[in-house]
Amino acid sequence: MNQQMKKIAPSILAADFTRLGEQMKAMEAAGADYHHLDMMDAHFVPNLTFGPLAAAAAKRVASIPLDVHLMLDDPLTYGPQCARLGADIVTFHYEATPHVHSVLTRIREAGAKSGLSLTPSTPVEVLGPTLNYVDLVLIMSVNPGFGGQDFIPESIDKVARLRKFLDENSGRRILVEVDGGVTDKNAAALFAAGADILVSGSYLYGAADYAAAIAALKGGV
Ligand code: DX5
Ligand code: ZN
């Protein structure tokens, strides 16, 4: 089984959209591993962000992979579409659709890694029936919808339970990603609990020195 990764995915939700391409390039130069793109539909979550048009523009400027996080009610349409436009990972919410297996399969068929996200109140055991179709599980450590919220401390134990559940129930190495309120105060504990990728929006894009902030999240790795 492959080793744990320790990767950082800055969320462009916290970037200055008047200078988005420039800021994404600065994040890449500072050591970012993915660009995290939060698509929201004002229905699954009470916020509205951007869609595939903006993701395609991000793809044109990016030199590192795109990690698309769909917080919307129709992942069957938008999941494969984001994969086709070149996203490396496309993640949607377990709570958003009764057709989890279909969406996971179609995202893979369209060429991306398939990601499934759980909100804070959804237990990890729901993943059981779909494990053969999942490449990544995203644990939300805030209620999805907005950047800048406080980290829910119970998320650290949930990540540890998830890592154990995946190791016991899947022969493949399924990646674990954590999103929401990630800062230098909780990153080390999340990696220690088994996270492979940490998403961070306001902490990273709000930092005066992107490279120092990414290094602080990676803990000198
Ligand atoms: C929240 C989004 C997050 C958000 C994280 O629903 O999924 O990706 O951008 O932002 P911070 O790091 O500020 O909590
Ligand atoms: Zn996100």
Residue with CA nearest ligand 1 atom 4: 147
- Please identify, by atom number, the ligand 1 atom nearest to the C-alpha of residue 145: 6
62-83 pLDDT, tens digit each? 999 999 999 999 999 999 999 9
Q: How many Å apart are CA 195 and CA 9, to the nearest integer?
A: 12
Would the pTM count as exceeding 0.95? yes
- Interior CA angle at 52 toward 51 and 57, to 5°? 110
Query: Of residues 38, 67, 135, 196, which has the active-site annotation?
Result: 38
Active site residue 179: yes
CATH class of 7-218: alpha beta
Of the listed ligands, the closest to the CA of 200 is: 1
Q: How far is CA 46 from CA 40, 92, 100, 142, in A?
A: 8, 16, 22, 14
pLDDT (tens digit, 9 = 90+) per residue, 37-71? 999 999 999 999 999 999 999 999 999 999 999 99
Domain ranges of the chain: 7-218
Separation of CA 128 and ligand 1 centre (Å): 26
Report the sign of the C-alpha dihedral through residues 94, 182, 195, 164, in that order.
negative
| Residue 74 bears catalytic tag | no
Which ligand has the shortest distance to the CA of 40? 1
